[in-house]
Amino acid sequence: MKRNLIRLSFGLMTVLFSAMTALAQTPGAQAEGSGIGKGLGYIGAGVGFGIAAGLCGIGQGRVAAAACEGMARNPGAYNRVQLALILGLAFIETLVLFSFVIVYIHFGALR
């Protein structure tokens, strides 16, 4: 447990300290919207959406597995479990669509 906490803290410090160079740009270079910052913005938005979509797939799989297990254990509660399954899948998919909209807005801001 302590080892994982140390790894997490070092990883967090690395991410935070690497972001300081991006925030230390001059306002004139930042306003142009060209160069490496624009490319890194595209890469970051694409990777972020990929992570969101991948985790959505994992979440949907777990929800479906739990619903199938619940229906197998208690067939009388089929309708209630099915309703909860559909609502849960809708909420998960809504989060992915929300992240897609954010990425799309971010791409528009980079142009």
Q: Report the first-to-last Cα separation within the chain, whole angstroms.
A: 44
pLDDT band at 28 (very low <50, low <70, confident <90, very high): low
Tens-digit pLDDT profile for residues 56-75 = 999 999 999 999 999 999 98
* pLDDT at 30 exceeding the cut of 60: no
Residue 86: predicted pLDDT: 93
Does the CA dihedral 22-15-52-83 come out positive or negative? negative
3-state secondary structure of 24: coil
Domain positions in the chain are 37-111
Here the tokens at position 104 are 């799309």
> Per-residue pLDDT for 42 more than 70?
yes
- Alpha-helical (H) ranges within the chain are 2-23, 27-32, 36-73, 78-110
Q: What is the mean pLDDT of residues 74-92?
A: 90
Which residue, among 41, 48, 47, 37, has the nearest Cα to 108 in the 3D structure?
41
Q: Does 4 score more than 90 pLDDT?
A: no
Give the pLDDT band of residue 41 (cuts 50, 70, 90): confident
Reported CATH class of domain 37-111: mainly alpha
Q: pTM here? A: 0.59
41, 106 contact by CB (below 8 A) = yes
